[in-house]
Amino acid sequence: MAEELEIDPKTELVRALDAADGSALLAAAGDVHYADLASLYENLDDEQRDRLLKTIGPEMATDVIAELPDTLIEEALNHFKPAQLRVLLGNLSDDDRVDVFQVVSEEAQVRFFSLLGPRDKELTRSLLKYEEDTAGGRMTTRIGRITADMTVKQAITVLRRDREDTETLARIFVVDEEGRLVGKIRLRDLAFSTWDTPIRDIMEEADEFILATADQEEAARTLSKYDLIVLPVVDEFHHLLGVLTYDDALEILQEESTEDIEKLAAIGGDQSEVTYLNTSVGVQYRRRVTWLIGLAFVSIASGYVMFRFSEILSQAFVLSLFLPMVVAAGGNSGGQAATMVIRAMALGEISTGNALRIAWKEARTGLFLGLSLGLAIAAFITLVLPQLQNGTGGPFDFPHLAFAVAASITVQVLSATVLGALLPICARAIKLDPAVVSAPSLASTVDVSGMLIYFTTAGAILNLR
Amino acid sequence: MAEELEIDPKTELVRALDAADGSALLAAAGDVHYADLASLYENLDDEQRDRLLKTIGPEMATDVIAELPDTLIEEALNHFKPAQLRVLLGNLSDDDRVDVFQVVSEEAQVRFFSLLGPRDKELTRSLLKYEEDTAGGRMTTRIGRITADMTVKQAITVLRRDREDTETLARIFVVDEEGRLVGKIRLRDLAFSTWDTPIRDIMEEADEFILATADQEEAARTLSKYDLIVLPVVDEFHHLLGVLTYDDALEILQEESTEDIEKLAAIGGDQSEVTYLNTSVGVQYRRRVTWLIGLAFVSIASGYVMFRFSEILSQAFVLSLFLPMVVAAGGNSGGQAATMVIRAMALGEISTGNALRIAWKEARTGLFLGLSLGLAIAAFITLVLPQLQNGTGGPFDFPHLAFAVAASITVQVLSATVLGALLPICARAIKLDPAVVSAPSLASTVDVSGMLIYFTTAGAILNLR
């Protein structure tokens, strides 16, 4: 609290770790939140990690390991002996346990599975059938669950008995005798009602739910849209399977936003959970090299167009002044359009069906953007360039040049904008990831089209070749 | 529920709206979640909006208006008469009310303020002193708040009395007689404890809190990191001012991720709350045109370098084949590095202080990336290009050319990678937004450096000019 003047427990923990002072280490670790312990763990060397985990033991390590990035989990678990692992794996909440099984190697999967109790074995097996990135793959099955014909008193008795087994009591779900979701109730309504009230009278309808097979991002956005603390997860027969909680949703949204941003920058792989400073140069290299080489070879196409039209360039060197501008304007305007559309698709706003409406909207936006850019450049060429003539090597027909550059930049921006908007939609229509496909295909097409548009339009207007 | 075969209330609502059927409209609106009503509202024309709001009245409209994007709020409120507005503004939760005051015009601010009751006036004024994007600007002050010396029974009595006024009872905070935060307690601990237990005995320490002046994204990430439902917001004397709830955090993270992505694509402005299809062409145009024209003029610098070196190009036309590749490789590798660093900074992983460590890491990554790319291109030039010789217009000294291109691409990728990593750090050091500054400054610098590196390196190796 404010008046205490203690040493920060994190500082103390690092000191105790370096001094190999076991009892101080255990005491300090008890004062540090498990999320902070997990962040600290990432920055330790192997010997320190071993000392920390062995000192705090499997009980305290459970929460820490659940917070670690995927790539560190197997290594962390291997610091424990089988008997300790049995305790640790049993302590994990069922959704965290499934996460562990989804990220470790096959060899470890078999080894860890043999350490589970019979009930956990069955539960883990049944949860593992859902993909890691679906609502079913992220849900927890530890939930408060009562039936509609109970009284408040019976419900409280049941919930109190199962207390250790329920991850959240913020919302309690009501099922019928078949286990189908029929309603929900808040703990506060139980606490503030008389004991003989039937649950049926105080429960609300559970209108918001999600199928176990739905995408995790859809589940997170549903929970967020309706301001829910927990979102019930059901199968196709409306049986209540589990819930997704708000903290799962927060985690999913953070993961997906990092993933989206990295895809737009043509970075591959699935390492986004590890912090930047803890990723090795080798991993950084592997995540980036493929796209980089791919994109480089694609740009040979632009080079080929430039090579083919070199004659035109050599007839009017001044054209090279605006070549990078025309090409870059296409990349920038196409990238803006693609970003708007990819983002809107990710938020579920637009679908393949309204592609025409989007294309029409982007065509108008692109036309205005292209015209503005063309006018700005034309003004620059006619008004500013003559003043700088000395630097550019001789007299040109400036109005003529202005028209040639302005016309090609308008065509380039208009076409790049429409293309940028349509590429993600086409990618989705053929079931490819819009964010992954759009950046490289846009870069290549727009660069080539920029070269072609510039040389043919400007060449024709200036009567070259 | 599953067995009912009703018409979807949303479909029914749209029908009733078109038919101007008031009672059917009211009934249908009652069956639709307010979040869905807000989404529907965005797609209505002005007449339909007026009909919908007037039919559902100020009570039901309160929740809908709180969910609307910022830009639609003032217009929506203007559909109501002052007497209705008084009800509506009084019904809003205090954090939503502050949001309304933050987004409407000054004229409306004064008009709406005069409609508030004295208590709401004072509260709104005190909350308005926090910036919109800080923890204080997003917090709610409706919280369960008890003192440590109460018994469970006294606490329940207080909480039950204030029930209508507390946004969440999931976590209840304990303050001392000065109003300073001293602990927290869960409703379930109250419900499951005997009535004469002192709160002091069952409360936990409230170790996680945030200053009212902290950035909203930091607050959201703190809540998420520690898996909290509510995060207490305090002033510098540790007085409990309010709480940030998990649904605020979900909203903040969604807003910030959209903002980050748009900044990386050089899209300006603050319209991210309105859906793509509901943004007019004019707004789209304004958000994109400034950066587009700015970036275009910046690329005149690249054009100037190309123009200056046109002689070298005309001596060896074949160089144009690889010019776009060298330039693009810099843009791509620099963009990847900048994205990794901006993302890591947004997640609070890295600071200006460890700039050198990051530069060293990126230098190694960039060197390996550049060498790989150089080797790939060199192999292509020596092995594949001779086969295509007919298409490229004559015999070249392929090994010589391969060395020239590979050397320049390695230098370009290495320098662009280091630059891409350092630019966001420098931007932050001089208090600029890294995401906004990095994309354009990177594009311009790397394009120019690519031209320069290519012409000087390749020109020297091939003995041109």
Report, as an integer, the average pLDDT of A191-202.
Answer: 86
Instruction: Indicate whether A286 and A307 sit together in one domain.
Output: no
A344, pLDDT greater than 90: no
Q: Is residue B273 part of a domain?
A: no
With b for 16 or more beta-carbon neighbours within 10 A and e for fewer, the A130-150 pattern comes to: beeebbbbbbbbbbbbbbbeb
**Can you tell me the distance from the alpha carbon of B185 to that of B95, in angstroms, rounded to the nearest whole number?**
23
The partner residue sitting opposite B226, judged by closest CB among A33, A253, A304, is A33
CB contact under 8 A, A361 and B35: no
- Closest by alpha carbon to A250, among A294, A296, A280, A219? A219
CB contact under 8 A, B307 and A329: no
**Can you tell me the distance from the alpha carbon of B168 to that of B109, in angstroms, rounded to the nearest whole number?**
28
A454, pLDDT greater than 90: yes
pLDDT of residue B415: 95
Q: Which long-range contacts (CB under 8 A, 24 or more apart) does A126-131 make?
A: A127/A94, A127/A95, A127/A98, A128/A98, A128/A101, A128/A102, A130/A212, A130/A213
B273, pLDDT greater than 70: no
Structure tokens at B47: 């007449």
CB contact under 8 A, A325 and B299: yes
Instruction: Indicate whether B402 and B345 sit together in one domain.
Output: yes
Name residues 200-259 of chain A within 8 A of B (Cβ): 205, 207-208, 220-221, 223-227, 229, 237-238, 246-247, 249-251, 253-254, 256-258
pLDDT band at A339 (very low <50, low <70, confident <90, very high): confident
In A, minimum Cα distance to B322 occurs at A303
Q: Is residue B282 part of a domain?
A: no
Structure tokens at B67: 């969910």
CATH of the domain at B151: 3.10.580.10
In A, minimum Cα distance to B246 occurs at A246
Helical packing angle, B434-453 and B300-308, nearest 10°: 10
Cα–chain center distance at A301:
32
- Closest by alpha carbon to B62, among B114, B27, B99, B28? B99
CB contact under 8 A, B223 and A447: no
Which amino acid, residue B86?
R
Contacts of A175 in chain B (CB under 8 A): none
Instruction: Indicate whether B114 and B158 sit together in one domain.
Output: no
Percent share of chain B, pLDDT over 70: 93
Q: Is residue A217 part of a domain?
A: yes
A387 within 8 A of A414, measured Cβ to Cβ: no
**Can you tell me the distance from the alpha carbon of A442 to that of A412, in angstroms, rounded to the nearest whole number?**
13
Q: How confident is the model over B8-29, as pLDDT tens digits?
A: 888 888 888 888 888 889 988 8
Structure tokens at B339: 């994205």
Instruction: Indicate whether A95 and A210 sit together in one domain.
Output: no
CB contact under 8 A, A253 and B251: no
Q: How confident is the model over A402-432, as pLDDT tens digits?
A: 999 999 999 999 999 999 999 988 888 888 8
CB contact under 8 A, A333 and B238: no
Shortest Cα distance, chain B CAs vs residue A105, angstroms: 27
Contacts of A208 in chain B (CB under 8 A): 33
Q: Final residue of a domain: which of B82, B106, B129?
A: B129
Of the listed ranges B79-83, B265-269, B442-446, the least confidently predicted one is B265-269
Shortest Cα distance, chain B CAs vs residue A29, angstroms: 15
Report, as an integer, the average pLDDT of A297-313.
Answer: 88
Instruction: Indicate whether A443 and A358 sit together in one domain.
Output: yes
A66 within 8 A of A92, measured Cβ to Cβ: yes
Instruction: Indicate whether B101 and B144 sit together in one domain.
Output: no
CATH of the domain at A43: 1.25.60.10
Of the listed ranges A114-128, A427-441, B238-252, the least confidently predicted one is A427-441
Shortest Cα distance, chain B CAs vs residue A132, angstroms: 20
A353, pLDDT greater than 90: no
CB contact under 8 A, A322 and B336: no
Structure tokens at A367: 């036309």
Report, as an integer, the average pLDDT of B379-392.
Answer: 75
B2, pLDDT greater than 80: no
Q: Average pLDDT, whole number, for chain B?
A: 85
Q: How confident is the model over B114-152, as pLDDT tens digits?
A: 999 998 888 888 888 888 889 998 888 878 788 999 998
Structure tokens at A130: 């859902």
Tell the residue number behind the tokens 């740009």, with chain if given.
A299
Q: Is residue A156 part of a domain?
A: yes
Contacts of A300 in chain B (CB under 8 A): 321-322, 324-325
In B, minimum Cα distance to A285 occurs at B365
pLDDT band at A391 (very low <50, low <70, confident <90, very high): very low
CATH of the domain at B412: 1.10.357.20
- A186 sits in which H/E element: strand A181-186
Q: For residue B14, what are the domain limits?
A: 9-129
Report, as an integer, the average pLDDT of A29-38.
Answer: 88
Instruction: Indicate whether B317 and B445 sit together in one domain.
Output: yes
CB contact under 8 A, A292 and B322: no
Contacts of A248 in chain B (CB under 8 A): none
Cβ atoms < 10 Å from Cβ of B316: 18
Phi then psi dihedrals of residue B400, to 5 deg? -60, -50
Which amino acid, residue A181?
L
A165, pLDDT greater than 70: no
Percent share of chain A, pLDDT over 70: 93
Which amino acid, residue A226?
Y
pLDDT of residue A397: 79
Structure tokens at A414: 């208009």
With b for 16 or more beta-carbon neighbours within 10 A and e for fewer, the B165-204 pattern comes to: ebbbbbbbbbbbeeebbbbbbbbbbbbbbeeeeebeebbe
Q: Is residue B271 part of a domain?
A: no
Phi then psi dihedrals of residue A309, to 5 deg? -100, 15
- A181 sits in which H/E element: strand A181-186
A33, pLDDT greater than 80: yes
Q: How many CA atoms lie within 13 A of B330 on its CB side?
A: 26
Q: Final residue of a domain: which of A226, A252, A278?
A: A252
B171 within 8 A of B153, measured Cβ to Cβ: no
A394, pLDDT greater than 80: no
Instruction: Indicate whether A289 and A315 sit together in one domain.
Output: no
Q: Does A430 touch chain B (CB under 8 A)?
A: no
**Can you tell me the distance from the alpha carbon of A319 to that of A395, in angstroms, rounded to the nearest whole number?**
13
Q: Is residue B291 part of a domain?
A: no
CB contact under 8 A, B229 and A170: yes
Name residues 90-109 of chain B within 8 A of A (Cβ): none
Instruction: Indicate whether A220 and A88 sit together in one domain.
Output: no
pLDDT of residue A405: 93
Q: Is residue A405 part of a domain?
A: yes
Q: How confident is the model over B38-77, as pLDDT tens digits?
A: 988 988 888 899 999 999 999 999 999 988 888 889 999 9
- Distance of CA B378 to CAs A145, B374, B402, B411, B450, Å? 66, 6, 5, 14, 18
pLDDT band at A445 (very low <50, low <70, confident <90, very high): confident
Shortest Cα distance, chain B CAs vs residue A60, angstroms: 16
Tally of structural domains, chain B: 3
First CA to last CA distance, chain B: 81
Instruction: Indicate whether B304 and B432 sit together in one domain.
Output: yes
Q: Is residue B25 part of a domain?
A: yes
**Can you tell me the distance from the alpha carbon of B33 to that of B27, in angstroms, rounded to the nearest whole number?**
12
Instruction: Indicate whether B142 and B245 sit together in one domain.
Output: yes
Question: Whats the size of chain A, residue-wise?
Answer: 465
3-state secondary structure at position B96? helix
**Can you tell me the distance from the alpha carbon of B420 to that of B336, in angstroms, rounded to the nearest whole number?**
8
- B355 sits in which H/E element: helix B355-379
Structure tokens at B227: 């898996």
B385 within 8 A of B443, measured Cβ to Cβ: no
Q: Final residue of a domain: which of B129, B146, B172?
A: B129
Instruction: Indicate whether A164 and A78 sit together in one domain.
Output: no
pLDDT band at A65 (very low <50, low <70, confident <90, very high): very high
pLDDT of residue A371: 95
3-state secondary structure at position B143? strand
- Exposed, middle or buried: residue B240 (CB in 10 Å: 0-12, 13-18, 19+)? buried
Q: What torsion, rounded to 10 degrees, do the Cα atoms B261, B263, B269, B272 define?
A: 10
A396, pLDDT greater than 70: no
A395, pLDDT greater than 60: no
Q: Which long-range contacts (CB under 8 A, 24 or more apart) does A55-61 make?
A: A55/A22, A55/A25, A55/A26, A55/A29, A56/A25, A56/A26, A56/A29, A57/A84, A58/A84, A58/A85, A58/A87, A58/A88, A58/A91, A59/A87, A59/A88, A59/A91, A60/A29, A60/A30, A60/A34, A61/A88
Name residues 277-316 of chain B within 8 A of A (Cβ): 277, 281, 284-285, 288-289, 291-293, 295-297, 299-300, 302-304, 306-307, 310, 313-314
